[in-house]
Structure 1
Amino acid sequence: MPRSWLLATLAACVVGGVIAVPAPQPACAADDKDKEQKKAIEKAVERGLEYLKKTQAQDGHWEAQGGQYPTTMTALSGMAFLMEGSTLKEGKYSDQVKKAVDWFLAPARQQANGMLGDVRNPTESTRYMYGQGFGTMFLASVYGEEEDKEQREKLEKLLKKAVEFICKAQTLKKHRKAEGKDVDIGGWGYVSAADGGNFDEGSVTITALQGLRAARNAGIPVPKENIDKAVNYLEACTTTDGGIIYNYLGGVAGRGQERPPLTAAAICCGFSAGQYKTELPKRWLKYCKDHESTFLAKGRQAHDEYQTYYFGQAMYSLGDERYGEMFPDQKEKDKWLSWARFKDCYFPQILDNQNKNSGSWEQSSISPVYVTSINLCLLQLDKGILPIYQR
């Protein structure tokens, strides 16, 4: 169950630990603030969803400026409506969900190899694995709630092919662990291993892995060896400080090259698999704690939409108590990483940055559709509707 805004307010602490936690407010004042914040979030979500509704193309897709990245934009926008509670058959935005699904299922888009993107689009021809991962996640989330037999069969067929495509697109390399054991590792690049010369990198690997986890959550078979190779890949890209580097370099990953957004995204994937007690997510989480001024900073940063999207999911999975369970030697609760601290830092920024007229967020080099979808995801996590985002 989500924590109340009152507890979030009392637990919220300082970014960087340099400002004292404010004194507790009177109960009535805290209750009033609680109600105001909830209303502000509900209003922001409503505005944002209406913006996406108005910008959906007649054939059901969304796109960034100039027709860019339609597969990814459609998947992320669709997720925002699913998180509101709408499905193919029910809910305020069921028409938008249905149109998006129909776009994916359109005969003209079906490909025998299971690719979801359209290589005729220049922005997808060189980056189609992003759309493959996000598209699989969206369709799996729809499939998991679908009760109509005919529609389920269509989605199941498409998802099985999409998962097969992701698995075949995975790279394959050998990595020697510190103890001298050789293991198979495999990530994903912007295109398949065959098309990209076995190149891989962290952001696409996370996207593909989350798509596979969503598919598995929905009951679609996913080979265990592909998941294992992906986890091995992320471990091989983890430095001694616990952060993840851009792509596999071979041997021991070097310190000083860590990418905070990738590290946050890796935590999210680890938590979605229920890995709270294993060593690897703890190393990633410790890196985030050691660099919390980067993760809990006010204002814009490089790749901050991506970082905030995944760090928010990780903190939601962490909740307000799990950090203490993972690190029992950390006694100062107000300094734990937590969902309450994330909300205290980011939600006011998100709410303030929304265009109150259009309902969109526009602080993005990619597209208002992109950042609006991401912010709607974060604002709706407390609903706990979709399995891929649940604790």
Structure 2
Amino acid sequence: MIPRIVTLTWIIVAGNSGLSAQVLPNRPTDPIPAQVESMYERGLAYLVRTQNEGGSWNDTMGGEPAVVGLCLKAFLAHGDDANHGPYAEAIHRCVRYILENQKDRNGYIGNSMYNHGFCTLALAEAYGMVDEPKLAPALKKAVDLILNAQERNPASAWRYSPESRDADTTVSGCQLVALLGARNAGIGVPQEAIQKGLAFMARCRAEDGSYGYTSSGGGKPTLTAIGVTCLGLAKQREGKGFAKSVDYLAENLDYRDQHYPYYYEYYMSQALFQSNDQLWAEWNEKNLRYLGVLQQPDGSWPGDKGEAFSTAGALLSIALNYRYLPIYEK
């Protein structure tokens, strides 16, 4: 097993950014299962081997900043020293790529709020781990854009662009998790913004606890996992709505999203971890078997969105076995 340099607290020095220290969640004292370590290291080896010098990947969606952000999180989630460890060069390439794709004028990253949200979360997780002076101001500008987009949106939520007048649960969930990750990093995020975003999500929750896409109709496990993740990370686990949504996920532990399987697994792992340890352990065991069969000889996972996206999503769905990222704190 590769040795890791892991501290429970690190002090962030960021000039006038106003950011404070982040605290890493406690790793369980039990050893990482050999299967997890083998799968994870093979997956990271694939990402390192196929990353281009510019920091992205040359597959179907590997040039999207969101995919680079997910890959960055996958590297960080393994717990190695981000500046001197075995994946330091790949990590810094990811960070540079995201920063290069941020617009100076308004802080917008990429060309969609999906890109922006996942990259904002990746920057928040990297802050305090990665030695990059441009990270703090970039993170602050990215958060400001999310907040400004919400203020202009009649639903107090988000959709595909900062100017969108409508909203859906996938994009909104992405922005909420990014805001919660940034708040963990010390960025000032108004509680009112979190509450308004959660209120939109709640309007899309049906009586059975399932979440729909733009309304409470047509609920799906993937969307419900996003809603539960948001409430869990916001520390708002009380109430019948949360409980019903967890029950809905418990009834669908064997569900697999046919169109976005790794996107689903990414959120489902977090939703169950934030809500019920026993459910997470049961699902995690099934997920490890499922992903173990699908992992390719080169360490990647297949998918029509490109191997970088599939591999990052698969790795992040098992990364809670490590629990090194601040966002995984319960």
TM-score by length of 2: 0.85
Unaligned runs of 5+ in 2: 1-26
Offset of 1:281 from its aligned partner? 1.9
Residues 359-381 of structure 1 show CA distances to partners (whole Å, capped at 9, x for unaligned) of 1000x221111110011112221
Q: Does 1:101 align with 2:95?
A: yes
Which of 154, 167, 180 is 2:147 aligned to?
Answer: 167
Cα distance in 2 between the residues matched to 1:168 and 1:243:
29
TM-score by length of 1: 0.72
Offset of 1:3 from its aligned partner? 8.7
Offset of 1:272 from its aligned partner? 1.1
Residues 76-110 of structure 1 show CA distances to partners (whole Å, capped at 9, x for unaligned) of 0010100011344132101111111122233x744
Work out whether residues 160 and 171 of structure 2, in 8 Å CA contact, stay in contact via their aligned partners in 1. yes
Aligned equivalent of 2:254: 296
Which of 73, 86, 95 is 2:80 aligned to?
Answer: 86
SS state at 1:295 partner: coil
Cα distance in 1 between the residues matched to 2:38 and 2:329:
23
Q: Which entry has the higher C-alpha Rg, 1 or 2? A: 1
Q: Does 1:115 align with 2:93?
A: no
Work out whether residues 62 and 68 of structure 2, in 8 Å CA contact, stay in contact via their aligned partners in 1. no
Q: Which amino acid aligns with 1:113?
A: N
Q: Does 1:45 align with 2:26?
A: no
Offset of 1:64 from its aligned partner? 4.1
Aligned equivalent of 2:161: 191
Which of 217, 238, 241 is 2:184 aligned to?
Answer: 217
Which of 113, 130, 145 is 2:129 aligned to?
Answer: 145
Q: Which amino acid aligns with 2:156?
A: G
Q: Does 1:158 align with 2:138?
A: yes
Cα distance in 1 between the residues matched to 2:103 and 2:128:
21
Alignment of 1:196-211 (within 5 A): 196=164, 198-211=165-178
Q: Which amino acid aligns with 2:273?
A: Y
Unaligned runs of 5+ in 1: 6-34, 118-123, 174-184, 322-337
Structure 1 residues 235 and 349: CA distance shift in structure 2, 3 A: same
Cα distance in 1 between the residues matched to 2:97 and 2:70:
14
How many residue pairs align between the two structures? 303
Cα distance in 2 between the residues matched to 1:103 and 1:381:
26
Structure 1 residues 63 and 191: CA distance shift in structure 2, 3 A: farther
Work out whether residues 65 and 97 of structure 2, in 8 Å CA contact, stay in contact via their aligned partners in 1. no
Cα distance in 2 between the residues matched to 1:217 and 1:312:
20
Aligned equivalent of 1:10: none
Q: Which amino acid aligns with 1:233?
A: F
Aligned equivalent of 2:238: 277
Work out whether residues 156 and 200 of structure 2, in 8 Å CA contact, stay in contact via their aligned partners in 1. yes
Aligned equivalent of 1:266: 227
Structure 1 residues 3 and 88: CA distance shift in structure 2, 3 A: closer
Offset of 1:344 from its aligned partner? 2.3
Residues 304-354 of structure 1 show CA distances to partners (whole Å, capped at 9, x for unaligned) of 222221111112223535xxxxxxxxxxxxxxxx11210222110101110
Cα distance in 1 between the residues matched to 2:191 and 2:249:
28
Q: Which amino acid aligns with 2:94?
A: A
Cα distance in 1 between the residues matched to 2:113 and 2:275:
28
Work out whether residues 140 and 214 of structure 1, in 8 Å CA contact, stay in contact via their aligned partners in 2. yes
Aligned equivalent of 2:23: none
Q: Which amino acid aligns with 1:316?
A: F
Aligned equivalent of 2:5: none
Q: Does 1:308 align with 2:265?
A: yes
Aligned equivalent of 1:344: 285
Aligned equivalent of 2:201: 234
Offset of 1:163 from its aligned partner? 0.5
Offset of 1:276 from its aligned partner? 2.4
Residues 96-140 of structure 1 show CA distances to partners (whole Å, capped at 9, x for unaligned) of 11111122233x7442101011xxxxxx4xxx1001110001111
Aligned equivalent of 2:328: 389
Q: Which amino acid aligns with 1:311?
A: M
Work out whether residues 264 and 311 of structure 1, in 8 Å CA contact, stay in contact via their aligned partners in 2. yes
Q: Which amino acid aligns with 1:115?
A: Y
Work out whether residues 134 and 207 of structure 1, in 8 Å CA contact, stay in contact via their aligned partners in 2. yes
Offset of 1:145 from its aligned partner? 2.7
SS state at 1:219 partner: coil
Structure 1 residues 225 and 64: CA distance shift in structure 2, 3 A: farther
